[in-house]
Amino acid sequence: MSANPLEELTVLSLLPDDLAPLLAGLYEAPEEAVAWMAGASVAAWVVLNPAEEVLGAVGARPSPKWGAELVGGAFPGPTQHAAALALAQAAQAERGRVYAFAEPHLWPYEALMSAGWREVGAYRRLTGRMPLRHLELPPGATLHQLAAVQDLAVRMDALSTFEDRIGHHAVLPEFAVDGAAGFDSHLSFIALDDQGRGIGLCRASIEDGLGRVDSPGVHPDWRGTTLRAALLDAVNGRLRAGGITQISLDSWGDTAAELAHDLKLGLHVVDETPIYSAP
């Protein structure tokens, strides 16, 4: 047996169209539930052992400021470390800058760290009872229900405020329509500057009696202001008007200061997946 387990593995390129069944096995989910991951991928790889058994697979999904996100990973077992490392190295060699949501059952941290990858952010879900407050908006900004702003270009501007954050992806027009990703435009709020441009967005919906909220996106020029907190408060107020007091807040790549703000509101982290990036 080789002293280097990687020498016994073979990594092959795949067509993204062939990725969905492998992702279904990795995530233990119906193929239709993960088909969007395969469809959003622009490259894919599978790793095989000498018996040509599949040990793992990943797809690369473009991210505007961070290269590409790797979806998938390696199956648990004694070969997982080597298989994950082989996939990570193959993706980095072909795509350059890549990162992965390092779910422990698919991406052993030790494998990524041994290749020089480092934690650069996280996906988090926070829950709790959001206090109702009132914050003054920064001068030059106004808040509006998303349903009242139907200009697609303005909505796209607001959505693009997420693009520089790790874990987010290029905005497509279908993301900006009412009902996209299950969000309710009557519960969601958009921020406009004094020229009518979209500078912030916080989307929400109600699911099973719980407010589902996306962490607000704010244009970089406005991140040192109260705009993020004001967007969150506006959505919370709208949810409270509908009798909702408990929320679930999803965030990708939020800063330590933003996390601290949300924790001070009384929310607490119930799910966290670190994001590791290639050097």
The structural domains of the chain, with segments of one domain joined by +, span: 5-116, 125-272
Yes or no: say if 276 and 112 are a contact pair by the CB < 8 Å rule.
yes
Series of mean pLDDT values for 10-residue runs along the chain (279 residues) = 69 96 97 93 97 97 91 96 96 95 92 93 93 84 98 97 88 90 96 98 96 96 95 94 94 92 94 94
Q: What is the dihedral of CA 78, 81, 87, 92, to 10 degrees?
A: -170
For 5-116, give the CATH class.
alpha beta
Identify the pLDDT of residue 143.
98
Identify the pLDDT of residue 34.
94
Question: pLDDT (tens digit, 9 = 90+) per residue, 89-132?
Answer: 999 999 999 999 999 999 999 899 999 999 999 999 999 997 77
Listed as own residue / partner, the contacts of 217-221 with beta carbons closer than 8 Å and 24 or more positions apart are: 217/158, 217/159, 217/161, 217/162, 217/165, 218/161, 218/191, 219/161, 220/161, 220/164
Question: pLDDT (tens digit, 9 = 90+) per residue, 171-188?
Answer: 889 889 999 999 999 999
Identify the pLDDT of residue 90.
96
Q: Which two tokens stand for residue 49?
A: 């052992």
Report how far residue 214's alpha carbon sits from residue 183's, in angstroms, rounded to the nearest whole number: 9
125-272 maps to CATH 3.40.50.1980: no
